[in-house]
Amino acid sequence: MTARKMQTSVLALAAACAWAVPAQAEDADTAALRQQLSEMRAQMAAMAEQMNAMQSRLDSAQAKAEAAEDAANDAAQTAQVAAATAADAKAESDTTGAFAKAAKWAADTKISGRMYYNVSSVNAKDAAGNKVESDGGFELKRFYLGVDHKFDDTFAGNVTMDVSPVDNGGKAVGYGFYIKKAYLEAKLAKELKLRLGSADMPWIPYVEGVYGYRHIEKTLTDLDSFGTSADWGVHASGDLADGVVSYQVSAVDGAGYREPKFTETIDFEGRISAKFGGFNVAVGGYTGELGKDVTGAAPYRTATRFNAMLAYKDEIAGMPVTIGGEYFTAKNWKVLQAAPKDKAEGYSLFASIAPVEQWSVFGRLDHIEPFKNSAPLMQDDFMMFGVQFSPATIVDFALVYKRDNADGGLKIGNLGSGQEKRDEVGLYGQFRF
């Protein structure tokens, strides 16, 4: 029962009591009764006031509770909206972050390519002067496709694919697909850079950079198979003395990048070079088993090679000029343990000049004696010269003449079996991206 209802009941009871006593019968007892009734009415009125006050407090408390509930509901709705907004913002941030990471990955990744090709006419004769080759056509010498990625300022990686002709007894039977380079690089300082995997070897790529015409012909040791341009192993390189001096040392399996294998020993190749005022000087060497020391195979003698190069590459009277020479000597290169010791020796002289923009002329002369002990009469003289047009930094075209003149039925370089003299005229080119 509420306080208001109680108050109404008390007042009604008091009124009934008052009217129950007749006026004419009033006496002392009646006066006393009236007094008691009056006091009761006063008490009931006080109780009614207290109940009214209590009801007011209850009403106020209920209003506050309802207001608090409304505020809580509003807060919950606000929290839900805020949570939804935060979720949307996080989703948008995650999407933006994913795009940013993808964009950074793409910016740190470079794809490159290079193709060497020629259209040539070839004529070759044997020792008796008989024509043993007279043909020509288009030839894809090399196609490289590389992917470089920089993980951070220290680590990077490279994968380079090599497409080149497959030789079978002197006859091209198609093209082979090889992994030429696949390495992880750690650039610890300018003085020390490490590569693990198949990477450039110390000597041949260095000489190619000075020589400048790899797209027309390989360098001396590469052309005559006394070295390889890349191999599987560990490679350390760096620059010293503010870049004046550079070095590289490689520990490899020795069989070349096309034939990774387990071997019983490790081969080593190294180079130290210097560049100052246009002059480039370098010495290098190799020692090892050339990948021949595999379990169960016939033993080979340890092969050694010494290399040296001196060149000038700069401008003279405003014209780019390169002139230089490479020398090598090798011992027991691919010689069986049971066979006598052998020695090889050779040199290459090269020069080029660009008298006008986009045009250059070049020439080269090689001499090699690959078997000085076992077949001293076998030797080869190679020469080439030509003119090159470079309409863009990524495109070169060259009209080239090449000639091999060998003695003793030597199969080396571009010479096939039974060929003593070989002449080639062709249009050589390369493009890069």
Domain ranges of the chain: 3-86, 114-432
Question: pLDDT by residue (tens digit) across 230-254?
Answer: 999 999 999 999 999 999 999 999 9
Integer CA distances (angstroms), 343 to 168, 203, 229, 346, 411, in order: 27, 19, 21, 11, 17
Residue 243, C-beta contacts closer than 8 angstroms, at least 6 positions apart: 190, 275
Name the β-bridge partners of 154.
Answer: none
**Would you say residue 2 has pLDDT above 70?**
no
Residue 193, C-beta contacts closer than 8 angstroms, at least 6 positions apart: 185, 186, 187, 236, 237, 238
Q: Which two tokens stand for residue 425?
A: 């005229």
Across the chain, mean pLDDT equals 88
Q: How far apart are CA 88 and CA 94, in angstroms?
A: 10
pLDDT of residue 58: 73
Q: Which two tokens stand for residue 127?
A: 């020792």
pLDDT of residue 164: 87
Average pLDDT over residues 366-388: 95
Which of 84-98, 292-306, 347-361, 368-382 bottoms out in mean pLDDT, i.e. has the lowest?
A: 84-98
Residue 50's φ and ψ, nearest 5 degrees, are -60, -40
Architecture per CATH, domain 114-432, reads as Beta Barrel (2.40)
Cα-Cα-Cα-Cα dihedral of 240, 245, 251, 256, to 10°? 140
Q: How far does CA 228 lie from the centroid of its chain?
A: 23
Residue 383, C-beta contacts closer than 8 angstroms, at least 6 positions apart: 363, 364, 365, 366, 402, 403
Average pLDDT over residues 209-228: 97
Which stretch, 48-52, 96-100, 410-414, has highest mean pLDDT? 410-414
Question: pLDDT by residue (tens digit) across 252-298?
Answer: 999 999 999 899 999 999 999 999 999 999 999 999 999 999 988 99
Integer CA distances (angstroms), 358 to 209, 312, 353, 354, 387, in order: 19, 20, 11, 8, 11
Average pLDDT over residues 130-150: 94
pLDDT of residue 10: 40
Question: pLDDT by residue (tens digit) across 24-49?
Answer: 445 677 777 777 777 777 777 777 77
Q: How far does CA 204 lie from the centroid of its chain?
A: 23
pLDDT of residue 34: 76
Average pLDDT over residues 357-375: 96
Query: If pLDDT is split at 50, 70 and 90, which confidence band does 20 have?
Result: very low
What is the model's pTM?
0.77
Q: Which residue has the higher pLDDT, 128 or 320?
A: 320
Q: How far apart are CA 301 and CA 295, in angstroms?
A: 15
**Would you say residue 68 has pLDDT above 80?**
no
Residue 165, Cβ density class (10 Å: 0-12 exposed, 13-18 middle, ≥19 buried)? middle
Residue 168, Cβ density class (10 Å: 0-12 exposed, 13-18 middle, ≥19 buried)? exposed
Residues 252 and 228: beta-carbon distance below 8 Å: no
Query: If pLDDT is split at 50, 70 and 90, which confidence band does 167 have?
Result: low
**Would you say residue 341 has pLDDT above 80?**
yes
Q: Which residue has the tokens 């913002």?
A: 89
Name the β-bridge partners of 165.
Answer: 175
Residues 193 and 187: beta-carbon distance below 8 Å: yes
Residues 92 and 384: beta-carbon distance below 8 Å: no
